[in-house]
Chains A and B, each alone.
Chain A
Amino acid sequence: MRRFLAFLIKRHIVVLFLILQSLALYLSAQQNAFQKAGYISSSNYWIGTYYKFLNDAVSFVRLSTINDSLSAENARLKTLLVTSLRYDSTTKTSVIDTALQQQFTYTWAKVVNSTAHLSANYLIIDKGSNQGIKPRSGVMTSNGIAGIVHQVSPHFSSVISVLNPKFRLSCIIEPLNYTGVIFWDGSDYQTGTLNDIPRHLPVKKGMKIVTSPYSNLFPSGIPVGYISDFELPSGSNTYKITVKLNSDMRKLDYVYVVDDLLKEERNVLEKQITEDVQ
Chain B
Amino acid sequence: MSSELFSLLWRLGLGLFLQVTLFSKISFLGWLSPYPYLWVLLLYPYQFPRWTSLLFGFVTGLIVDLFLNTGGMHASACVWMMTMRGYVLSFSVPQSSYEGDSTFDIEEIEIPRFATYSGILILLHHIWLFTLEIFQFSKLPVVIFKAVPAALMSLVFVLIFRLLLIKSGRKYK
Determine if A28 and B70 form an interchain contact, defined as CB atoms under 8 angstroms apart: yes
Residues of B within 8 A of A42 (CB): 66-69
> Does any Cβ of B come within 8 Å of A116's Cβ?
yes
> Does any Cβ of B come within 8 Å of A65's Cβ?
no
Determine if A119 and B136 form an interchain contact, defined as CB atoms under 8 angstroms apart: yes
> Does any Cβ of A come within 8 Å of B72's Cβ?
yes
> Does any Cβ of A come within 8 Å of B116's Cβ?
no
Determine if A41 and B30 form an interchain contact, defined as CB atoms under 8 angstroms apart: no
Interface window among B40-48, B76-84, B100-108, B157-165: B76-84
Determine if B72 and A13 form an interchain contact, defined as CB atoms under 8 angstroms apart: no
Determine if B137 and A40 form an interchain contact, defined as CB atoms under 8 angstroms apart: no
Determine if A27 and B71 form an interchain contact, defined as CB atoms under 8 angstroms apart: yes
User: Which residues 60-112 of B have a CB within 8 angstroms of A?
Assistant: 61-62, 65-73, 75-76, 79-80, 83
- For A150, give the chain B residue with the smallest CB separation: B69
- The answer, among A23, A24, A115, for a CB contact under 8 Å with B73, is A24
* A: contact size bracket: 35 or more
- For A25, give the chain B residue with the smallest CB separation: B76
Q: How far is the CA of A250 from the CA of B25 in the complex (A)?
A: 10
Residues of B within 8 A of A117 (CB): 27, 30-33
> Does any Cβ of A come within 8 Å of B6's Cβ?
no
Minimal beta-carbon separation of A3 from chain B (angstroms): 21
- The answer, among A21, A165, A186, for a CB contact under 8 Å with B79, is A21
- For A122, give the chain B residue with the smallest CB separation: B69
Determine if B66 and A24 form an interchain contact, defined as CB atoms under 8 angstroms apart: no
Minimal beta-carbon separation of A13 from chain B (angstroms): 6
Residues of B within 8 A of A122 (CB): 69
Residues of B within 8 A of A124 (CB): 69
User: Which residues 123-168 of A have a CB within 8 angstroms of B?
Assistant: 124, 158, 165
Residues of B within 8 A of A20 (CB): 54-55, 58, 75, 79
Q: How far is the CA of A211 from the CA of B24 in the complex (A)?
A: 32
Determine if B72 and A115 form an interchain contact, defined as CB atoms under 8 angstroms apart: no
- For B80, give the chain A residue with the smallest CB separation: A21
- For B79, give the chain A residue with the smallest CB separation: A20
Residues of B within 8 A of A27 (CB): 62, 65, 71-72, 75
Q: How far is the CA of A32 from the CA of B70 in the complex (A)?
A: 9
> Does any Cβ of B come within 8 Å of A66's Cβ?
no
Minimal beta-carbon separation of A162 from chain B (angstroms): 14
Q: How far is the CA of A83 from the CA of B64 in the complex (A)?
A: 52
Determine if A165 and B137 form an interchain contact, defined as CB atoms under 8 angstroms apart: yes
Determine if B69 and A41 form an interchain contact, defined as CB atoms under 8 angstroms apart: yes
Q: How far is the CA of A42 from the CA of B63 in the complex (A)?
A: 10
Determine if A188 and B83 form an interchain contact, defined as CB atoms under 8 angstroms apart: no
Residues of B within 8 A of A24 (CB): 58, 61-62, 72-73, 75-76, 79
Determine if A116 and B30 form an interchain contact, defined as CB atoms under 8 angstroms apart: yes
Determine if A250 and B27 form an interchain contact, defined as CB atoms under 8 angstroms apart: yes
> Does any Cβ of B come within 8 Å of A12's Cβ?
yes
B residues apposed to A, CB below 8 Å = 20-21, 24, 27, 30-33, 50-51, 54-55, 58, 61-62, 65-73, 75-76, 79-80, 83, 132-134, 136-137, 139
A residues apposed to B, CB below 8 Å = 12-13, 16-17, 20-21, 23-32, 38, 40-42, 44, 47, 50-51, 54, 115-120, 122, 124, 158, 165, 185-186, 188-189, 250
Q: Could you list 8 A-B pairs, sorted by A, with CB under 8 Å?
A: A27-B71, A28-B71, A28-B76, A31-B70, A42-B68, A158-B69, A186-B137, A250-B27
